[in-house]
């Protein structure tokens, strides 16, 4: 078979190459001829050559197609062996582990629920197995029971309590009453029983130390810079004239912060610490009217472990009490045994870095919403792989982007419930800042309620 008259060789002809128009004409003619022949008309000798040309083109095309097919096949076959590589394995593992299925049923370990009616300040109790909220008879009531109830509610202490005549409140309670059982009961939960009426005809009215409220102040919608009074419990802790950590006011003399902020060499240097309250701009801390508060005492949790960051919580006592105002207020503590469920919307605030790799600390306090991430998910291999202890909680986003960072530590993670803001977490640690799959890790304050109350009480001068 000769390829003499093959137009391909015409194309190869340098002369044809030198005459682009000529070459083009040839190709057009050839093309027309081929079509004509295939339709079975005017098959000439010239057309025969064109048929051979077509055959050759087809053969080349076929070979090319085959090559492409083989290439795809090889690629396809090689694919599984790619995912054997460590990176590939990581990916497969990640997606399967990141989709942690949550248990739909969130068990609440509490058996008794307490609330103070906003209308008449009466203490109301709901025993786990009953659907109604019942008022509490005044018999056997005392102030230490009041303190215990207030603490159950996340408030530090009792401020007022008295017996109120049932006849003075009208006939709103028809479902029965709760009475305090006789005999010494160590556990507050076992103190209560249901009764048809109260012997004295009196029920308990209660007021706890007010916390977790904000004054009604104007605010910037959608802004990330906080306005004065929005987070009135937020303080800036200065060490050696530098903003070092955040903290949260819980009483007029006590601030909660992170143990890692104060431990080691910083701990004995009490006089190097200054607490600034009621500010949003750090520059205003320097201004005359904001003289910082001196620190009298620092207590860090003795179980704090600087390697694992476990028990990362500390208390600071101010030498002089704060004057509460619209811009300086205490935050509530969480209720006993309360675990914020996955997805609970909470907020963080602080003067920490605003860029993960930067060293830029903002002058104005920043705030950001962060949802709670369940410990199960946070401890999965795609997040912290078992590093989250029962005394920690995670909050943030799987995709990163919003998080606390260096300089925010010790500051608050607050969540609103029952119309008050509660200090659910203390900003503690995280791998990098705002990285995907590395949310912020917080000290779970609910695990330290007993410790906080003990420390404050031991101190005696508790105000
Ligand atoms: N340890 C840091 C500090 O001292 C705070 C870390 C918080 N990091 C995070 N990614 N949420 O300020």
Q: What is the DSSP string of 263-324?
A: SGGGSS-GGGEEEEES-SBHHHHTSTT-PPEEEEEEEE-TT-BTTTTBT--EEEEESS----
pLDDT of residue 266: 81
Q: How confident is the model at residue 433 (pLDDT cuts 50, 70, 90)?
A: very high
Per-residue pLDDT of 301-341, as tens digits, reads 999 999 999 999 999 999 999 999 999 999 999 998 788 99
pLDDT of residue 338: 81
pLDDT of residue 350: 94
CA distance 182 to 192: 9
- Lookup: tokens for 113: 């629920």
Torsion of CA 56, 61, 64, 66, to 10 degrees: -100
Of 179-188, 191-200, 296-305, the one with minimum mean pLDDT is 179-188
Name 239's Cβ contacts closer than 8 Å, sequence gap at least 6. 245, 266, 269, 272, 273
Does the Cβ of 312 fall within 6 Å of ligand 1?
Answer: no
Does the Cβ of 429 fall within 6 Å of ligand 1?
Answer: yes
- Lookup: tokens for 163: 């017996």
- As a three-state string, the secondary structure of 46-104 is HHHHHHHHHHHHHHHHHHHHHHHHHHHHHHHHHHHHHCCCHHHHHHHHHHHHHCCCCCC
Mean pLDDT for the stretch of residues 415-439: 95
Of 32-36, 92-96, 369-373, 406-410, the one with minimum mean pLDDT is 32-36
Measured over the CA atoms of residue 83, residue 88, residue 93 and residue 96, the dihedral's sign is negative
pLDDT of residue 56: 56
Reply yes or no on domain 112-208 having CATH 3.10.250.10.
yes
Q: Say if residue 130's pLDDT is above 70.
A: yes
**Residue 267 backbone class (left: φ over 0; alpha: ψ -120 to 50; beta: rest):** alpha
Neighbours of 394 (CB within 10 A): 25
Catalytic amino acids? 260, 312, 409
Q: Which CATH number fits domain 220-463: 2.60.120.10, 2.40.10.10, 2.60.120.260, 3.40.50.360?
A: 2.40.10.10
Q: Say if residue 432's pLDDT is above 60.
A: yes
- Pocket probe mutation, ligand 1, options 260, 358, 429, max atoms within 8 Å of Cβ: 429
CA of 256 to the centre of ligand 1 (A): 16
- Lookup: tokens for 335: 């209720």
Does the Cβ of 405 fall within 6 Å of ligand 1?
Answer: yes
Q: Where in the chain is the domain with CATH 2.40.10.10?
A: 220-463
Q: Say if residue 247's pLDDT is above 90.
A: yes
């Amino acid at each position: 078979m000769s390829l003499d008259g093959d137009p391909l060789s015409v194309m190869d002809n340098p002369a044809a190459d030198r005459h682009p128009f000529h070459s083009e004409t040839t190709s057009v003619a050839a093309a027309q001829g081929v079509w004509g022949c295939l339709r079975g008309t005017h098959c000439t000798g010239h057309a025969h050559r064109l048929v051979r040309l077509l055959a050759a083109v087809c053969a080349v095309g076929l070979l090319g197609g085959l090559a492409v097919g083989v290439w795809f096949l090889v690629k396809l076959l090689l694919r599984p062996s790619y995912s054997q590589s460590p990176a590939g394995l990581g990916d497969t593992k990640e997606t399967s582990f990141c989709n942690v299925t949550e248990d739909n049923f969130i068990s609440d370990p509490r058996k008794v629920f307490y609330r103070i009616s906003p209308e008449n300040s009466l203490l109301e109790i709901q025993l786990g197995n009953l659907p109604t909220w019942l008022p509490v008879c005044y018999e056997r009531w005392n102030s230490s029971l009041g303190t215990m109830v207030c603490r159950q509610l996340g408030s530090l202490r009792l401020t007022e309590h008295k017996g109120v005549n049932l006849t003075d409140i009208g006939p709103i309670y028809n479902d029965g009453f709760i009475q305090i059982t006789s005999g010494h009961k160590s556990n507050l939960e076992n103190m209560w029983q249901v009764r048809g009426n109260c012997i004295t005809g009196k029920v308990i009215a209660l007021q706890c130390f007010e916390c977790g409220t904000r004054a009604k102040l104007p605010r910037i919608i959608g802004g990330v810079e906080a306005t004065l009074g929005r987070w009135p419990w937020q303080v800036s802790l200065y060490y050696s004239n530098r903003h070092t950590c955040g903290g949260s006011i819980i009483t007029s003399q006590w601030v909660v912060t992170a143990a890692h902020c104060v431990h080691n060499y910083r701990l004995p240097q009490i006089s190097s610490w200054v607490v600034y309250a009621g500010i949003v701009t750090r520059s205003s801390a320097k201004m005359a009217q904001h003289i910082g508060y001196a620190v009298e005492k620092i207590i860090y949790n003795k179980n704090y472990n600087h390697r694992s960051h476990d028990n990362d919580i500390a208390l600071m006592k101010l030498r002089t009490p704060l004057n509460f105002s619209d811009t300086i207020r205490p935050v509530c503590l969480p209720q006993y045994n309360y675990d914020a469920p996955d997805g609970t919307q909470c907020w963080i605030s602080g003067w920490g870095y605003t860029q993960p790799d930067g060293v830029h600390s903002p002058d104005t306090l920043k705030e950001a919403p962060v949802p709670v991430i369940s410990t199960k998910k946070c401890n999965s291999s795609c997040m912290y792989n078992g590093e989250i202890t029962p005394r920690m909680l995670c909050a943030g986003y799987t995709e990163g982007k919003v998080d606390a960072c260096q300089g925010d530590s010790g500051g608050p993670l607050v969540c609103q419930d029952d119309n008050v803001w509660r200090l659910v977490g203390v900003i503690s640690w995280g791998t990098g800042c705002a990285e995907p799959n590395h949310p912020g890790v917080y000290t779970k304050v609910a695990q330290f309620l007993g410790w906080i109350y003990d420390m404050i009480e031991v101190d005696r001068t508790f105000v």
